[in-house]
Structure 1
Amino acid sequence: MHKAICEPLGAFSAVKDADEDIQKICDNVKSQAEQKTGKTYKVFICISYRSQVVTGINYLIKVHVGGDDHVHIRVFQGLPHTGKGPELVSIKESKTSVDILDE
């Protein structure tokens, strides 16, 4: 399970550096992001994230997509018993490396 489970219910965590688990989530939603934006991302590397425990986990993730470009994605990962993979909820384009991950 992710470290997010230690956060208070309903509150987003502080920003954390992305790790292998978060990159796997990004890899799983990359095609959803491409479909939503109509773009193809040759680079899709997670930089940082925040998490929120609900009936699953919401993630706000900063993703480097090449050059100086970044996107912020919101992903929902349901509880394990649902058997569902991560789902892209929204994506904000035209972000930079210094833009704050916000709701």
Structure 2
Amino acid sequence: METVNSSETQPATPEVQHIADQVKAEFQRREDRTFDIFRAIVYRTKLDAGTIFLIKVQDSDSDTGYAHLRVFQALPQEKQGPSLVSYQTGKTRDDPLNYF
């Protein structure tokens, strides 16, 4: 699934944290729980009629307190906020951030 238009994993930026914050409510609803911690750690992007962000977030202090989020951000002219496409939980800080 890797393509030439995908980025390497990079440290999260304030913009990426903002995107994670915008999908936190949906993540909590799907998981049926509340997370006090929701810190973006690293991310990758892929262009596909918009931008797909893969974001590793820390959601607890446990060793497996990380989740990988797949978030779609439509092109600016679409005037839509980011949407949580899918996610994986139970990840560790060292798990590679691969497309899923």
Q: Scaled by the length of structure 2, what TM-score is found?
A: 0.90
Aligned-residue Cα RMSD (Å) equals 1.2
1:27 aligns with 2:27: no
Structure number with higher strand proportion: 1
Seq. identity, %: 35
TM-aligned CA deviation for residue 30 of structure 1: 0.2
Moved more, 33-42 or 73-82: 33-42
1:102 aligns with 2:90: no
1:57 aligns with 2:51: yes
The one-character-per-residue Cα deviations of 1:25-77 (angstroms, maximum 9, x if unpaired) are: 00000001011111211110000000001110001100001113000000000
- Match of 1:85? 81
Q: Scaled by the length of structure 1, what TM-score is found?
A: 0.88
Determine helix, strand or coil for the equivalent of 2:59.
strand
Determine helix, strand or coil for the equivalent of 2:55.
strand
Deviating above 4 A after TM superposition, structure 1's stretches of 4 or more consecutive aligned residues are none
Q: Distance in 1 between matches of 2:52 and 2:4?
A: 10
Q: Distance in 2 between matches of 1:10 and 1:25?
A: 23
Q: How many residues align?
A: 95
- Retained in 2: the 8 A contact 1:10–1:54? no
Q: Distance in 1 between matches of 2:87 and 2:34?
A: 14
Determine helix, strand or coil for the equivalent of 1:50.
strand
The one-character-per-residue Cα deviations of 1:69-99 (angstroms, maximum 9, x if unpaired) are: 0000000000011110000000101001000
- Match of 2:68? 72
The code of the aligned residue for 1:40 comes to T
- Match of 2:10? 16
TM-aligned CA deviation for residue 11 of structure 1: 3.1
The code of the aligned residue for 1:19 comes to T
